[in-house]
Amino acid sequence: MKIDLRSDFTARPTKAMVEAMVRAAEMPSGFGLREDPTVVRLEALAAEILGKEDALFVPTCMMANQIAIHVCCRPGDVFLTEAEAHVVTSESAAAAVLSGAMPRCVAAVNGAFDLDDLAAALKPGAALVLQENTHVRSGGRVVAFEHMQAIAEMARAQGVPVHLDGARIFNAATALGRPASDLAQLAETVSFNLNKGLCAPLGAILAGTSDFVNNALRVRQMFGGGWRPAGIPAAAGIVALQSMIGRLADDHRRAKRLAEKLATVDGIIVDPASTMSNIVLVRPTAMDPETLSAALEKLGVLVLPFGPSVRLVTHREIDDNAVEETLHAFRSARNGDD
């Protein structure tokens, strides 16, 4: 079987998740949008972990982000983010199409807003500040907790809510040595994926106040996300939240080892200091990313061409042996070995 480092969503659900889904399939499900007992348990657990009043189970984190934008923005409103945010680069201009809202991009470095630029952008009026942590385009870099605090204070002083795109919030929390609730309290609304580092088969969470979630429920239905019955994927999400957060440090450790060892391989550039979570960006200098990716695939390792780099993402199925095999494959690909 190939070593798949393209994303952490390629990790298969655990045996415990599969067993939980089977049990959920045998249970009666509620008819209403929030009546399924397994979904209710998942949403309550997610809200408790984040320290929020309520939470909503949605199909994808992109939908969660777009629901938050729609609830907070009216047509013609501006929300503040930065040019490399997932909501700008990878969500198909959904905010403009679905909500009539326009992103105004604040200067930022590796996902961390320039605070002076943010202050200037807040003054003309904005409906929302949207921050991403961890920051995927910079290779999973983590925005410092103190920086998040400063953003929250500035936005709240202007009466502007903050939405945290926390697709990998538990990776950020692990890297910062804090519970996810600490990060979540610096935003009015929070989204996260269940199917990335937590390796549930699908699903995401959107959390906030009870009033916000009531509004979000209506928008979820409008966006086609009122899935029923949803107890089967929710069962896997419960197991993910109960059992997978604590092991994310192993993914970080293995990503750091990959970065440190790959930095010694000729023909590629890696900055180990920038590997702060479970993502490693490798920039080849002797071949283009597509050629390197194809060479690695022949050697049994799948990576993702990612701009001028290839991206490696560690997850539950990448153990220490897989790390060593990946390092060997990079050396072989660099030498032209098949």
* Per-residue exposure over 33-53, b if at least 16 CB sit within 10 Å of its own CB, e if not: bbebebbeebbebbbebbebe
Pairwise CA distance, residues 39 & 232, whole Å: 9
Instruction: Please name which of 94, 84, 78 lies closest in space to residue 129, comparing C-alpha atoms.
Output: 78
Cα 76 to Cα 44, 89, 98, 104, distances in angstroms: 34, 20, 12, 12
The pair phi, psi for residue 108, each rounded to 5°, is -155, 155
Beta bridge partners of 131: 164
Dihedral sign for Cα 135, 156, 176, 120, please. positive
**DSSP H helices in 202-315:** 210-222, 231-243, 248-262, 289-298
User: In the numeric block, which tokens belong to residue 7?
Assistant: 């994303």
Is the predicted pLDDT of residue 168 greater than 60, yes or no? yes
Q: Is pLDDT above 90 for 330?
A: yes
Phi, psi of 189 (to 5 degrees): -135, 150
Say what the pTM is: 0.96
How many whole angstroms separate alpha carbon 184 and alpha carbon 63? 18
Confidence of residue 276 (pLDDT cuts 50, 70, 90): very high
The pLDDT score that the predictor gives to residue 336 is 63
User: For residue 338, what pLDDT band results from cuts at 50, 70 and 90?
Assistant: low
Give the model confidence (pLDDT) of 29-73 as tens digits: 878 888 999 999 999 999 999 999 999 999 999 999 999 999 999
pLDDT of 307 strictly over 60: yes
Give the 3-state secondary structure of residue 163.
strand
pLDDT reported for residue 187: 99
Q: Is the pLDDT assigned to residue 124 strictly greater than 90?
A: no
Residue 33: what pLDDT? 84
Q: Are 324 and 290 in contact (CB under 8 A)?
A: no
Query: What is the rounded average pLDDT for all residues in the chain?
Result: 97
Domains of the chain: 14-243 (3.40.640.10), 247-335 (3.90.1150.10)
Query: Please, which residues bridge with residue 279 across strands?
Result: 313
Q: What is the pLDDT of residues 228-253, one digit of tens each?
A: 889 999 999 999 999 999 999 999 99
Nearest CA to 184 out of 176, 106, 313, 157 is that of: 176
| CB-based contact 122:154 (threshold 8 Å) | yes
Distance CA 224, CA 226 (A): 6
Phi then psi dihedrals of residue 234, to 5 deg = -65, -35
pLDDT at 159: 97
pLDDT of residue 321: 98
For 134-165, what is each residue's pLDDT tens digit? 999 999 999 999 999 999 999 999 999 999 99
The distance of Cα 222 from the centroid of its chain, to the nearest Å, equals 23
Distance CA 310, CA 290 (A): 8
Q: Distance between CA atoms of 258 and 248, rounded to whole angstroms?
A: 16
Strands 102-105 and 128-132: unpaired
In the prediction, which pLDDT does 1 show?
Answer: 84
